[in-house]
Amino acid sequence: MKTFEDLKNILVANYSEKDINLVIKAFHFASEAHRGQKRRTGEDYIYHAITTAYNLAKMKMDIASITAGLLHDVPEDTDFSYDDVKNNFGAEVAYLVKGVTKLGTLKYRGLERYAENLRKMFLAMSQDLRIIIIKLADRLHNMETLEGVRPEKRLRIAQETLEIYAPLANRLGMFRIKNLLEDLAFPYVYPDEYAWTMAQVKDRLKEEEKYIDKIKKFTQKEMVKSKIDYVQIKGRVKNLYSLYQKLLRKGKDLNKIYDLIALRIILRDIADCYSVLGIIHKKWTPLKGRVKDYIAQPKPNGYQSIHTSVFTDFGKVAEIQIRTREMDEAAEYGIAAHSKYKEVGLMGKKKNPPKWLRDLIDMQKTITDNAEFIKHIKNDLFLNQIFVFTPKGDVIELPENATPLDFAYYIHTDIGNQCVGAKVNDQIVSLDTRLKSGDVIEIMKDKKRKRPNPDWLKLVITNLAKNKIKSQLKNDSQ
């Protein structure tokens, strides 16, 4: 449970006195509004508001978002209105509070019946991404206190978190929030699977921690020798729900999981990242195909880091992640990372949302059938993603099992329609080839060709590609 002093300590380190005074004012206002209210856990309601604001301050969100985090339940759960919030804290804070309150009215009733509410959620996100980030901060504390909720409601909230909010955090590059939400929901949604996974890793983790500590000591020694000034070296344990999903893909064989614990090396600048990579590869042989440079070629959500897996002296494979402090902050909090949203301008009304969200809004206009819309979300938005490259080196994000045709239609409708073949890593492949992360795809075109092959509907897996093919075929038949 966070106190207002905990919140103030973060604010003092990162915000101006004027900003801090606004948050203090919001705290007193929310305390008065929620006076006498208790949560099901028995604690005073104000602590939920404080913790929501604390989570936002940890992400270094703007002061309007932190203030809205403190006030987000005031109009709905107290005698104070939106006008009271607006008169005391301005139109921007009131706008954010109203947006979060609207999302609070969504109720999970199975994904199919959830379509209309999801449309509203994505529309709100397209107007101001801060609304969903405040909601994620709110949801994180709700999940941490879920034990106090009645069982049937507990399952609904956990399921909604696992199927909607965690994937959204992932899409926004907020991996720390995504991992926390998944691990908090896992035992409620899949209790037997959770118990099984815990049993699998219990003894192995102790062994892995000793092993990663040896690698850490070696790396520290080598960096001191090379006069590289590092920020931090830490072991990162794979989150439990991700581990469970990976175990399913690996035939439930824990010995095939190389990144149960990874070593994360955080450095001061990019040049040092490559120097450290050289030091590690000079000492240990990297696994073929397991070196990934997301610094030179970031993921579409902005994630940057170098990943390498190496054979060590200790008879095991180790995964090592190398990044700067700014990259680590962005990897933890994604689009909410302070420097990132200030530079790119993704926050606030009338800003440009990420491409996947723009595509989703466009898709809402063309897909009026709710079942089709849900199918698109499940297939294109929330499936595990792979990262492939254009011949020019641009990174493209697609769902697992996507084909060259999915890639072609993602780039542009005309490229899909004119496709006559594809090369993957300079090798000609069939159009139903399943792409893998790291593949470089080149689409061979015939500009005279205008019409897609109807059989392609059986080859593509993304609803984006299917809808573009169907639309073109329909136009041709008219």
Question: Which single residue is written with the structure tokens 């439990």?
Answer: 240
- Give the residue, 302 or 356, on which the prediction is more confident: 302
Looking at the fold, whether 23 and 45 belong to one and the same domain comes out as yes
Q: How far apart, in whole angstroms, are the C-alpha atoms of residue 57 and residue 74?
A: 19
Task: Tell me whether residue 348 is in a domain.
Answer: no
Check residue 346 and give its pLDDT: 47
Task: Tell me whether residue 48 is in a domain.
Answer: yes
- Give the residue, 50 or 255, on which the prediction is more confident: 50
Looking at the fold, whether 11 and 150 belong to one and the same domain comes out as yes
Residue 211: CB partners within 8 Å, gap ≥ 6?
261, 314, 316, 318
Burial of 271 (0-12, 13-18, 19+ CB in 10 A): exposed
CATH number, position 416: 3.10.20.30
Task: Identify the domain containing residue 151 by its residue range.
Answer: 4-188
Tell me: pLDDT of 314 over 60.
yes
Task: Tell me whether residue 182 is in a domain.
Answer: yes
Residue 38 half-sphere exposure, CB side, CA atoms within 13 Å?
Answer: 6
pLDDT, tens digit (0-9, with 9 covering 90-100), for 78-91:
999 999 999 999 99
Task: Tell me whether residue 241 is in a domain.
Answer: yes
Looking at the fold, whether 23 and 129 belong to one and the same domain comes out as yes
What percent of the chain clears pLDDT 70, i.e. is strictly above it?
Answer: 89
* CB atoms near residue 151 (< 10 Å): 8
Check residue 57 and give its pLDDT: 93
Q: How far apart, in whole angstroms, are the C-alpha atoms of residue 28 and residue 47?
A: 12
Lowest mean pLDDT among 185-194, 308-317, 362-371, 390-399: 362-371
What percent of the chain clears pLDDT 90, i.e. is strictly above it?
Answer: 45
> What pLDDT band is residue 338 in, cutting at 50, 70 and 90?
very low
Nearest-5° Cα angle at 141, 209 to 125: 105
Distances (CA, A) of 260 to 204, 255, 274, 415: 9, 10, 24, 40
The arithmetic mean of pLDDT across residues 43-51, rounded, is: 94
Looking at the fold, whether 212 and 298 belong to one and the same domain comes out as yes
Asked if 76 and 30 touch (Cβ cutoff 8 Å), the reply is: no
Looking at the fold, whether 136 and 90 belong to one and the same domain comes out as yes
Q: How far apart, in whole angstroms, are the C-alpha atoms of residue 356 and residue 349?
A: 18
> What pLDDT band is residue 325 in, cutting at 50, 70 and 90?
very high
Tell me: pLDDT of 347 over 60.
no
- Please name which of 129, 128, 96, 4 lies closest in space to residue 54, comparing C-alpha atoms: 4
The set of catalytic residues is: 76-77
Check residue 181 and give its pLDDT: 96
Q: How far apart, in whole angstroms, are the C-alpha atoms of residue 221 and residue 34?
A: 54
Task: Tell me whether residue 160 is in a domain.
Answer: yes
The arithmetic mean of pLDDT across residues 300-326, rounded, is: 87
Task: Tell me whether residue 240 is in a domain.
Answer: yes
Looking at the fold, whether 200 and 318 belong to one and the same domain comes out as yes
**What single letter denotes the amino acid at residue 423?**
K
**What single letter denotes the amino acid at residue 115?**
A
CATH number, position 107: 1.10.3210.10
> What pLDDT band is residue 354 in, cutting at 50, 70 and 90?
low
Q: How far apart, in whole angstroms, are the C-alpha atoms of residue 29 and residue 411?
A: 50
> What pLDDT band is residue 337 in, cutting at 50, 70 and 90?
low
Check residue 114 and give its pLDDT: 63
User: Which of 300, 334, 368 is the last residue before a domain boundary?
Assistant: 334
Looking at the fold, whether 233 and 156 belong to one and the same domain comes out as no
Looking at the fold, whether 214 and 169 belong to one and the same domain comes out as no
Check residue 352 and give its pLDDT: 61
> What pLDDT band is residue 218 in, cutting at 50, 70 and 90?
confident
pLDDT, tens digit (0-9, with 9 covering 90-100), for 93-112:
999 998 888 776 555 555 55
Task: Tell me whether residue 350 is in a domain.
Answer: no
Check residue 475 and give its pLDDT: 78
- Give the residue, 323 or 364, on which the prediction is more confident: 323
Give the chain's domain count: 3
Looking at the fold, whether 195 and 183 belong to one and the same domain comes out as no
Looking at the fold, whether 179 and 263 belong to one and the same domain comes out as no
First to last CA, the chain: 63
Question: Which single residue is written with the structure tokens 């059986």?
Answer: 458
In this structure, what token pair is assigned to residue 434? 């399943």
Task: Tell me whether residue 342 is in a domain.
Answer: no
- Mean pLDDT for the chain? 85
Looking at the fold, whether 249 and 319 belong to one and the same domain comes out as yes
Question: Which single residue is written with the structure tokens 């009733």?
Answer: 109
pLDDT, tens digit (0-9, with 9 covering 90-100), for 410-433:
999 999 999 999 999 999 999 999
User: Which of 311, 334, 357 is the last residue before a domain boundary?
Assistant: 334
Residue 217: CB partners within 8 Å, gap ≥ 6?
none
Looking at the fold, whether 237 and 281 belong to one and the same domain comes out as yes
- Whole-model pTM: value is 0.78
User: Which of 188, 207, 225 is the last residue before a domain boundary?
Assistant: 188
* CB atoms near residue 234 (< 10 Å): 13
Nearest 10 degrees: Cα torsion 252, 255, 261, 265: -130
Tell me: pLDDT of 342 over 80.
no
CATH number, position 211: 3.30.460.10
The arithmetic mean of pLDDT across residues 353-377, rounded, is: 69
- Give the residue, 381 or 9, on which the prediction is more confident: 9
Distances (CA, A) of 49 to 61, 140, 271, 334, 425: 15, 12, 42, 23, 51
Check residue 282 and give its pLDDT: 92
Asked if 467 and 367 touch (Cβ cutoff 8 Å), the reply is: yes
Nearest-5° Cα angle at 361, 356 to 363: 90
The arithmetic mean of pLDDT across residues 247-276, rounded, is: 87
